[in-house]
Homo-oligomer: A and B are copies of this chain.
Amino acid sequence: MWKPDRQVKKPIYEQIADHLEQRISYGEFPPGSLLPSERKLAEQLGVNRSTVILAFAELRAMGIIESRTGSGTRVSTSKWEATPKHTPNWSRYAEGGSFLPNLPFMRKIRESLAQQPSLIDMASGELAADLAPIDEITALMGEHRYTSYLGYDNPQGYTPLREALVSHLERQRGIRTTESSILITSGSQQSLYLITQCLLSPGDAVAIEDPSYCYSLPLFQSAGLRLFRLPVDQYGARSEDIRSLYKKHRIKMVFLNPNFQNPTGSVPTAERRNQLLAAASELGLPIVEDDPFSLTAYENSPPPPLKSMDPLGSILYIGSFSKIAASGLRIGWMVAPNAIVERLADARQQMDFGLSVIPQQVAAQFLNSAYFDPHLNRLRMQLQFKRDLLIEALRKELPGLITFSVPQGGLHLWCKLVPEVHDGKLLDEAIRKGIVFVPGSVYGSESGYVRFTFARARAEEIAPGVAKFAEALRSLLNTAQ
């Protein structure tokens, strides 16, 4: 990212004006298009807003841009009138298709993190650098020669990785399958995308947990699906609710994240699991089981997946390396009946021609290596340690103001705020104080909940992060009075 150079003589505002003029001349901001706002540019470039105002004034004087109150600053069209007149109406194109943008809260969180690297990140659902097996992966990459042919991959994914997963799934998740029923995807995310795009049709009704990660994904709406809620209690979703949604709305699929559910941390009892499976097979209703967190179980052995009790093939099982190794690997997998795997592999081929072979080789080696189990053990201990740091800090900073149940696995703590506060305002205030979290409404819950991720921040940031959050909450409560 270009930044002005404070060492040279040329004034900062002139550097910025030159830089913008250049980008305009490259076609990055075509005639008629909107420039980023003064505030946003100032944040991106790390300068005062007044400096950007000076730069804009310079460009305006040259006739390169024009500002109209209320509609922002645009690249001038008159300037180019002599020669060609028209540029594509890009803002219209950007509204094309049925694909909805990400939720405003999620975009705000991402932008704030990009612009303020000092923010304490209790929002991103991923592992801190020191929890990821970076050294192990580096060692594996140095040990092995990747001389195999780097051509287009098998549409279902790299065969040695699928083979490694067959034994991993049997050993660690009790799931028996063969490599021909596995599809490697770009994380769980691509599995969810493929399922919603290619197995369901616009207008189909589906059930998703409330609250759940699924609610944060506009991809269900983008696919034109009608969403119905399955309330989540301490043990997750209930089969009665599935049955009644099926009766009322003929739901065609159920999306569950049974183990250490995101965001609540719930885990079903054995009885609940059996009831869910019985409902699925009696109704002939597929359940998508999204299972990224099980292997993080802090103390007891990981809870079993529904898929381990599914001889009828009613479960589409999704796993991922994101929460147990590194999200930047982008390795996930789906285990599904053969016909479904073939259909999705064929469709995915057209979307991106398959995944890069290199991270798949790395993932296969890591799974087969002696590093894998010790890594998991270390990860579990460290997650539990960080969970405890978070809980301790919350109890200290916000006694009586916040309630939660203590999760036994996963990366998140789901909290209810005792006083009534607007979660959007709380987020803004928290960002000002230097910490981000995810407002509960992102997951479809009523107002008044927050999700803290304790995996991403460094251990020493957790207490200060909670202190900042407490400041933000208190300052909102004070102004409200």
Residues of A within 8 A of B (CB): 1-2, 22-23, 25-31, 33-34, 80, 84-91, 93-94, 96-99, 101-102, 107, 110, 114, 124, 126-127, 129, 132, 134-135, 137-138, 141-142, 145-147, 149-155, 159, 176-181, 185-187, 189-190, 193, 197-202, 204, 217-219, 222-223, 252, 278, 281-286, 310-315, 326-331, 337-340, 342-343, 346-347, 349-359, 362
A190 neighbours in B (Cβ, 8 Å) = 351-353
Contact B151 A339 (CB under 8 A): no
A26 neighbours in B (Cβ, 8 Å) = 176-178, 181, 311, 313
Residue of B nearest to A127 (CB): B151
Report the separation of the CA atoms of residues A177 and B2 in the bound assembly, to the nearest whole angstrom: 12
Report the separation of the CA atoms of residues A193 and B193 in the bound assembly, to the nearest whole angstrom: 14
Contact B337 A28 (CB under 8 A): yes
- Given A328-B356, A329-B356, decide whether A27 and B312 contact each other with a Cβ distance below 8 A: yes
Further contacts, 18 of them, CB under 8 A, given A1-B180, A84-B282, A330-B352: A28-B313, A85-B281, A93-B200, A96-B199, A96-B201, A129-B151, A132-B150, A132-B151, A137-B150, A138-B147, A187-B353, A218-B350, A222-B350, A328-B357, A329-B356, A329-B357, A356-B358, A358-B358
Residue of B nearest to A330 (CB): B356
Tell which of B29, B93, B102, B311 touches A27, judged by Cβ atoms closer than 8 Å: B311
A225–chain B nearest beta-carbon distance, Å: 11
Report the separation of the CA atoms of residues A201 and B154 in the bound assembly, to the nearest whole angstrom: 31
A343 neighbours in B (Cβ, 8 Å) = 94, 101
Contact B149 A134 (CB under 8 A): yes
- Given A159-B1, A283-B86, A358-B362, decide whether A199 and B151 contact each other with a Cβ distance below 8 A: no
Residue of B nearest to A129 (CB): B149
Q: Is the interface of A mostly helix, strand, loop or mixed?
A: loop
Contact B152 A315 (CB under 8 A): no
Closest 3 CB pairs of A and B: A27-B313, A86-B284, A30-B313
- Given A87-B281, A96-B200, A151-B126, decide whether A351 and B28 contact each other with a Cβ distance below 8 A: no
Copies in the complex: 2
A226–chain B nearest beta-carbon distance, Å: 14
Contact B84 A198 (CB under 8 A): no
Contact A330 B351 (CB under 8 A): no
Contact B352 A187 (CB under 8 A): yes
Report the separation of the CA atoms of residues A338 and B23 in the bound assembly, to the nearest whole angstrom: 10
Report the separation of the CA atoms of residues A134 and B361 in the bound assembly, to the nearest whole angstrom: 14
Report the separation of the CA atoms of residues A22 and B97 in the bound assembly, to the nearest whole angstrom: 44
Contact A337 B29 (CB under 8 A): yes
Residue of B nearest to A179 (CB): B1
Contact A31 B186 (CB under 8 A): no
Report the separation of the CA atoms of residues A86 and B314 in the bound assembly, to the nearest whole angstrom: 9
- Given A29-B338, A337-B90, decide whether A328 and B152 contact each other with a Cβ distance below 8 A: yes
Contact A180 B28 (CB under 8 A): yes
Contact A356 B353 (CB under 8 A): no
Report the separation of the CA atoms of residues A359 and B23 in the bound assembly, to the nearest whole angstrom: 28
Report the separation of the CA atoms of residues A337 and B89 in the bound assembly, to the nearest whole angstrom: 11
Contact B285 A102 (CB under 8 A): no
- Given A26-B176, A350-B217, A351-B189, decide whether A328 and B91 contact each other with a Cβ distance below 8 A: no
Report the separation of the CA atoms of residues A336 and B26 in the bound assembly, to the nearest whole angstrom: 10
A155 neighbours in B (Cβ, 8 Å) = 110
Contact A151 B124 (CB under 8 A): yes
Residue of B nearest to A187 (CB): B353
A201 neighbours in B (Cβ, 8 Å) = 96-98
14 contacts between A and B (CB under 8 A): A22-B178, A26-B178, A26-B311, A27-B177, A28-B180, A33-B313, A84-B312, A85-B282, A96-B204, A97-B347, A99-B197, A101-B346, A138-B145, A352-B352
Tell which of B110, B198, B328 touches A149, judged by Cβ atoms closer than 8 Å: B328
A332–chain B nearest beta-carbon distance, Å: 9
Contact B351 A351 (CB under 8 A): yes
A22 neighbours in B (Cβ, 8 Å) = 178
A290–chain B nearest beta-carbon distance, Å: 14
Contact B337 A33 (CB under 8 A): yes
A479–chain B nearest beta-carbon distance, Å: 33
